[in-house]
Amino acid sequence: MTTATLFILLLACMGMGMPIAIALGLSSIVTILFFSNDSLASIALKLFESTSEHYTLLAIPFFILSSSFLSTGGVARRLIDFAVDSVGHIRGGLAMASVMACMLFAAVSGSSPATVAAIGTIVIAGMVRAGYPESFAAGVIANAGTLGILIPPSIVMLVYAAATEVSAARMFMAGFLPGLMMGGILMVAIYIVARVKNLPSRPFPGVIKLIKSGATALGGLMLIIIVLGSIYGGIASPTEAAAVAAVYGFFIAVVGYRDIGPLRKIPWRYPDEKLSRAALRNTHQSVAALFKSAIDPEIKEVLLDATKTSLMLLFIIANAMLFAHVLTTERIPHMIAETIVLWGLPVWGFLVVVNILLLIAGNFMEPSAIILIMAPILFPIATQLGIDPIHLGIIMVVNMEIGMLTPPVGLNLFVTAGITKRDIGWVIRAALPWLGLLLIFLMLITYVPQISLFLPEYLDARAGY
Amino acid sequence: MLTKLINKTEEGILCIMLVGMTLLVFVEVILRFGFNTGLLWAEEVTLYISAWFVLFGASYGIKVGAHIAVEAFVKLLPDNIRRLVASVAIILSVIYCGLFLYGSWIYLTKMKMIGIEMEDLPIPKWIAMSILFIGFVFLGIRLLQLLWDVITGKQLGFHVIDEAEETLHLFEEIEQIELAEDAAETRAGQ
């Protein structure tokens, strides 16, 4: 009865188009009021606690902030240059370079649609000019863009860590290998297609140019090194690493790359300017820029963007914690788990059900929202069946990746359609063969837990973090 | 004029809170590694700012449509029915607000009576937690405004940011850069 009330209310509210946060909160409060003895005051306190007692959760706004500083066209351009110089000379190299650029940008920005928009805009046109079929280019990018939520640091993983209280650092480690693997699978598939279809390659630009573009891209890539290095090295918690990343992101975007903010279009060195003079000018300009940033309209735009996304996510999380509270006090997941055990459903059977459930949910909702609703239900069941929580997390994330490529909510499809100016049906057809690869990858991840668990367990054994 | 001022203040406060949190954690990291000290109160303050950020921001989120929702079903309805469904959803949201207002009022008055202070700072706890009540007052006001807009037909529902559209501004930005570069190249070619 309680279970039915909770879920029917939740689905009805969400179906009416109510914000997911409020739908979660309302259905939880009503269930508590009808079926338990908690007072409204204690519910209010619970909501306040869920916004103010989780230090780990702060990593979410910080990472969002750092990614909004670095999700600019300029950063995308530099990463693409580096990727093209490194793998462009292989047959089908431009497409492979696009996948590589997507992986790098995904790691820096942590957002899938932003990856497709930033990388796709430049490389799809580039690939078409180089003689690739447009549907091939669009399909590759729409798929490679989904890597954003699998390669750490990833916001969706932080949300999972918040919902289930597993360590965010371990989730990040677990996502690393699968992320590289998916990128590798895509590149191998591209190579095979390129051989069969005889797609073009580019001449090798030379080691010097490679080092040069690598050094330019390093400004953005350092972010990944700082974050992952300090988390894995055990120096800082994910929250602290995220705060450092946000400040670093600001410096690179405003002072280093000068894509946004007061120093925009002021070069490091004017032609014919003396080196000493340029150094002096840059020093005082950089310091001045720090103060000017406080009133700069572009910086404010970036901040507001990050604000909107963070408060939306944190408000859902606060309400989702109420929802999770109802689930645990009413022992709903435990009852489902007992039923499943009673049926004698094997572990693989449960995982198949999980996959199907998540794929369906992925058609209608955002990744973070799905994780916040489904994780508190699936997590206790999985623990009872002996599935590692980290492994379950990676399965959920890969499912969410596929959700970004299936209508009607598949964000990556819409972004790709926007870039190529084609209709959504064309994009779906273009992405379909690559989506097949993603499904095979999902099966691999689901049934070979070692892919996800190898790295965290290896580092555990070495007491690395 | 007044609405513009309110907008600016709202946005300003939210941005300052976000930047404040980030810098507090950043400074703490620097102090720990560079100088081997720390700020005793930093963690508590950061956490309370985050609570204020979320609860104060919730109403701003309604105003700018930042809260995500499932739009797939209501989109299939004809406009009039869609507005009716949206009104029901908004009224339910107002009830949600009301329940929280009632609960937080009781809680805060009790806290004021007991008179506990925060752990590391000499501020009464009920003041630090007052955003619970304030935030839901603002949320309620924004929801009622939205309800009025839906009833008078200015809006179809919670206007939700289309994330796909949002990211496409990146695309336009890049396209402009490319165009500028192409133009520069052709000039150089001549």
Q: Report whether pLDDT(B43) > 60.
A: yes
pLDDT for position B91: 92
Residues 345-404, chain A: which have Cβ within 8 Å of B?
364-366, 369
Check if A61 contacts B (Cβ < 8 Å): yes
Location of structure tokens 């909160």:
A25
pLDDT for position A465: 44
Q: Give the best residue of B21, B73, B167 to mutate against chain A (max A CB count within 10 A).
A: B167
Q: How confident is the model at residue B178 (pLDDT cuts 50, 70, 90)?
A: low
How many whole angstroms separate alpha carbon B187 and alpha carbon A222? Answer: 36
What ipTM was reported for this prediction?
Answer: 0.87
Check if B132 contacts A (Cβ < 8 Å): yes
Residues in B touching A304 (Cβ below 8 Å): 11, 14-15
pLDDT per residue as tens digits for the range B87-97:
899 999 999 99
Residues in B touching A25 (Cβ below 8 Å): 96, 100
Residues in A touching B174 (Cβ below 8 Å): 73, 76-77, 118, 121-122
Task: For chain A, 465 residues long, give each residue's pLDDT as a single digit of tens.
Answer: 788 888 898 889 888 888 888 999 999 999 888 888 888 888 888 888 888 888 888 888 898 888 888 877 677 788 888 888 888 788 888 888 888 888 888 888 777 777 888 888 888 888 888 888 888 888 888 888 888 788 888 888 888 988 888 888 888 888 888 998 998 998 899 888 888 887 777 777 778 888 888 888 887 788 888 888 887 777 788 888 889 888 988 888 888 888 777 777 777 777 777 777 777 777 777 777 777 777 788 888 888 888 988 888 889 888 888 888 888 888 888 888 788 778 877 888 888 888 888 888 877 777 888 888 888 888 888 888 888 899 999 999 998 888 888 877 777 888 888 888 888 888 888 888 888 888 999 888 888 888 888 888 887 777 644
A14–B60 CB contact, under 8 Å: no
**A223 neighbors A248 (Cβ within 8 angstroms):** yes
- 3-class SS at B152? coil
- Burial letters B4-35, b for 16+ CB under 10 A, else e: eeeeeebbeebbebbbebbebbbebbeeeeee
**A183 neighbors A147 (Cβ within 8 angstroms):** yes
Q: How confident is the model at residue B7 (pLDDT cuts 50, 70, 90)?
A: confident
Task: State pTM to two decimals.
Answer: 0.85
Q: What is the mean pLDDT of residues B44-71?
A: 87
Check if A407 contacts B (Cβ < 8 Å): no
Q: Locate the chain B residue with the closest alpha carbon to A54.
A: B47
- Burial letters A231-247, b for 16+ CB under 10 A, else e: bbeeebbbbbbbbbbbb
pLDDT for position B166: 65
Check if B29 contacts A (Cβ < 8 Å): yes
Exposed, middle or buried by CB within 10 Å (0-12, 13-18, 19+), for A3? middle
A17–B157 CB contact, under 8 Å: yes
Q: Locate the chain A residue with the closest alpha carbon to B131.
A: A48
pLDDT per residue as tens digits for the range B114-134:
877 777 777 787 888 888 889
Rounded to the nearest integer, the mean pLDDT of chain B is: 82
Q: Strand (E) positions, A332-429? A: none
Encoded tokens for A140: 């590759």
Pairwise pLDDT comparison (A291 vs B184), residue with the higher score: A291
